Chain A
Amino acid sequence: MSLLEVRDITMRFGGLTAVDGVSFDLRQGEILAVIGPNGAGKTTLFNAITGVYEPTQGSVKFRGSEVRRQPDAKLAIRSAAVAVLGAISTFVALNAQPIWLAAIDANYVLGKPFPWQKAFADAWTTARAVPLVWGIIPAIVGAITGAATVLALWHRLRRTPDLIARAGLARTFQNIRLFSDLSLIENVLVGMDSRLHCGYWTNLLRLPAFSREHSRSTAEAMELLEFAGLADRAHAAASSLPYGHRRRLEIARALASKPAVLLLDEPAAGMNPSEVTSLMQLIQRVRDRGVTVILIEHHMKLVMGISDRIVVLQYGRKIGEGTPLEIRSDRRCIEAYLGAEDEL
């Protein structure tokens, strides 16, 4: 069964169709490479899969279902609550002074106990006595805030990157995006966020649960750094890393969420041959941990060396799919991209 089903993804930006009806399946445990000339739509495809863009058409199913929030009763209830709250608070804001005077000022005498019940009753009477016209403005404001909430919540129903990451798809970026002022281990810990459970108050007050989770997650993060060969600099700032190591840190950070699928966007870009070799080994070790890998890559030695299957894109369309051997002998793919024999 396929882990990820990409069906007929189309991505249009105005008049430009960057990705045009691309479909492919990702099987559990494989390494799939996406290749194609610059501008073929590879990164756009990645962005559509990971929710950075909402695809114009098509669907991405992960483990048989689309990762998105479903419209439910909560949406309606929350919008209605915000609408009512907006109306009431507008009403109170418009009539704050008379209500306050009637309920508080009129009833409070310094040094005497305050008659709470009478105060509430007076506040209610004053509010009731407000002419109906003054109810119109709050009603309008309430309707507007309610509608805005519906819109905002509706907007969140799209496939957002955070939801998709939490579902188990982790990614790296073409132009490395590390948290450069954080240390290496903190970068990995941010990647681990979806697996941590301590909430705000536990963290604020350092309850025992925090310490337990803290020592466990730190140990795990160190392990990942060791896996990526970066453990000796765990507490250095990410910005102090040399270029080749940043890629490795990005992979370690992505792995921290224990993803089912890892998407690597040109992991070998700008690396020298020896770094590429060690990166290949790293990717294979990642696969051996049970993570399915999709990668975009221009580096043919790496692509041919480690992928199980290859998808070839050109001008946003898929023009070939198959094992490295098949792709190497496919005339269309060679014409479109591989071209120079010496690259192989």
Chain B
Amino acid sequence: MRARLNPILLFFAVAAALPLFFGATGLFYDAFQSIFVFALVGLGLNIITGFTGMLNLGMAAFMALGAYGFAILTCDIYPFQIGFWWGLLLSGAIGALAGFLLGAPTLGLSGDYLAIVTMGFGEITLDVLKNLEAITQGTQGINPLPRPTIGGWSIELQDERSWYYLLLVILGVAVLLVRHLERSRTGRAWLSIREDALASQCMGIPPKRTRMIAFATGSAVAAVGGALFAALLSSTGEPNSYDFQVSILALCIIIVGGMGSIAGTLIGAVVMVGMNSLVLVKIADWLGSRDHGASSNVLASPNNWKYLIFGLALILVVRLKPEGLVPPRLEGDAGAVPPQPPKSRSDAPRGGASA
């Protein structure tokens, strides 16, 4: 077995070292904080869609539930105020519960129908958040949110480097836990359902319960991502920050990175979110400095290029590298052994019974 650089470890090593070398500006931190948050959401979606093979188009709703759950439980305009860490934990629990409730009646549905149900759930959640004004403050969003405290030391909103490392550590813990699940009986059951649901059931794996657990786990991870998204802004933002485009962005992340691959999800988040909040912003600055910035033409502003670029990236990946930038099953084990050419004694044709 050839020693192989573990791409996940590599990602975290580079991410931890980056602020030390890079000219650590506000733009850099903004971009990477948002990359880490979306990596978490992608990680959740990767469990549902990548591991278990259930297409979920409503990931933003779970993010929103996490964010609003966190906000209501911690913001000082409500009586609960349970603090940052409990809020984070409970927002994950809220996501899991929502996943269970949505999953219980719908996970018997096959692929396309489930996609439609989750999409509908996303829209319904948005409308509820907008209209339940007494509780969610409608379109204002809930703020301010508490700062995380670690043993008496609290991280200020402006302390971007601390936030960067905090998010990196939380992402690391989430990746570790998801990895534990993936490499265990639980995760194998998920993968087997994706590969062949009937065969998996004939091996004694209860399909519906296994799907429910995957759905709830993925929703919980995404909800924690949503809670951090809100904590970073110190506000949930308006409900529209969790619209359908966010769900699609999460899907783009795992498609570009590689379905069913944890490392792929991380890289996918860097590529897709980094493009959006680092590269395009830089280009906009550059154009602005040369007086090309303001124009009535929508395409003159690079921020409007992002959907073009998302689409292009998707087309390129699906066309050239359909398994994603970092395909699964290459991680750490020797699954990468190339298929050997059939030996003469074993290249009998498929089918064709000898009778």
Contacts and interface: CB of A to CB of B under 8 A. Distances in A.
Interface in A285-343: 298-300, 343
B127 interface: no
A209 B198 CA distance: 29
Contacts of A148: 105
Interface string B192-205: 10011011111111
Contacts of A166: 204
Of the candidates B79, B200, B343, the one having the most CB atoms from chain A within 10 angstroms of its own CB is B79
B191 interface: yes
Contacts of A266: 353
B166 interface: no
Contacts, number: 180
Interface string B178-214: 0011001111110110011011111111110000010
Interface residues of A, number: 72
A165 B79 contact: no
A179 B338 CA distance: 17
A280 interface: no
B354 A160 contact: no
Interface residues of B, number: 58
Nearest to B134: A97
Interface stretch (A15-23, A26-34, A126-134, A242-250): A242-250
A126 to B, nearest CB: 12
A236 B334 CA distance: 6
A327 B258 CA distance: 55
A100 B134 contact: yes
B192 A298 contact: no
A157 interface: no
Given A244-B348, A245-B346, A272-B348, A171 B202 contact: yes
Contacts of B180: 203-206
Interface stretch (A1-9, A56-64, A104-112): A104-112
A194 B353 contact: no
B132 interface: yes
Interface string B202-238: 1111110000010000000000000000000000000
User: What are the 10 tightest A-B residue pairs by CB atom distance, in nearest-first order?
Assistant: A298-B355, A114-B79, A165-B204, A203-B184, A240-B339, A194-B204, A179-B195, A242-B346, A177-B199, A298-B353
14 contacts: A50-B202, A52-B198, A107-B79, A110-B77, A161-B198, A162-B206, A165-B202, A171-B202, A179-B192, A193-B188, A200-B213, A204-B177, A244-B345, A298-B353
Given A162-B203, A182-B192, A240-B340, 13 more contacts: A52-B198, A105-B134, A162-B201, A179-B191, A182-B191, A189-B188, A194-B204, A203-B181, A204-B180, A204-B186, A233-B337, A240-B337, A275-B348
